[in-house]
Amino acid sequence: MTRYLKISTGSDQGSGGFMCPPGHPNHTMSAVEYTSARARNPISITGIAYLTTDEAYATPALRERARKILADAELKCSELWIRHVYGYFKNMYVPESGSRNISDLVSDPKNVLPPERHAAVAMIREYFPDHQPRTDLIADPGKGYGGHPCTKCGESAQYSARHDALAKVTTSKSGAGITRWAYATECPKGGAHTVD
């Protein structure tokens, strides 16, 4: 089968980025695959890092363009993002083998394993190699991950790395059945959403 890949950008684009730090291209770009250059309906939509893999049917020029986009990205190691990652990987550790495969992670509810092996530390170091383990967040990540009531408006707000802010997330379906995501970072009571 012939394949055609392109990089798609826009306000409604972005794939595979919920754990990527703010500024990562996955928040605003997608690798879209079609059966041909004239096809209208994609057969897959992924993060643009896919284009740099051997599995992608990407041309050398497109592969190089994706590498340059990823290399030139200005990533931000924000406190909200760090809390999000520690919350997502609560009590989870990389096994002695070093595997980062999610199915290989080890659960340690008492957090007695070395902080250096915490899965959040490994994830953050993928982007920021100098990150030091946050033992405060290992012990209690608080409400860094998931939806929680905003202390001002009471609506559920969750972290959005695309906006590097807490947001009320809503979805809707287009006429073609495509899910559209919307992120309201402004609290109706004024300012940004906050959670305790």
Average pLDDT over residues 123-152: 96
- Residue with the bigger pLDDT between 33 and 154: it is 154
What does the domain layout of the chain look like in residue ranges? 4-72, 79-139, 148-184
What is the per-residue pLDDT across 21-58, written as a single tens digit (0 to 9) for each? 999 999 988 888 888 888 888 888 888 888 898 888 88
What is the per-residue pLDDT across 94-115, written as a single tens digit (0 to 9) for each? 999 999 999 999 999 999 999 9
Query: What DSSP letter does each residue of 53-122 carry, written as one string?
Result: STTS---HHHHHHHHHHHHH------HHHHHHHHHHTTTEE--TT----GGG-EE-TT--S-GGGBHHHH
| Percentage with pLDDT > 90 across the chain | 63
| Percentage with pLDDT > 70 across the chain | 95
User: What's the whole-model pTM score?
Assistant: 0.87
10 Å CB burial of residue 112 (0-12, 13-18, 19+) is: exposed
What is the per-residue pLDDT across 52-99, written as a single tens digit (0 to 9) for each? 988 888 889 999 999 999 999 999 999 999 999 999 999 999 999 999
Average pLDDT over residues 122-147: 96
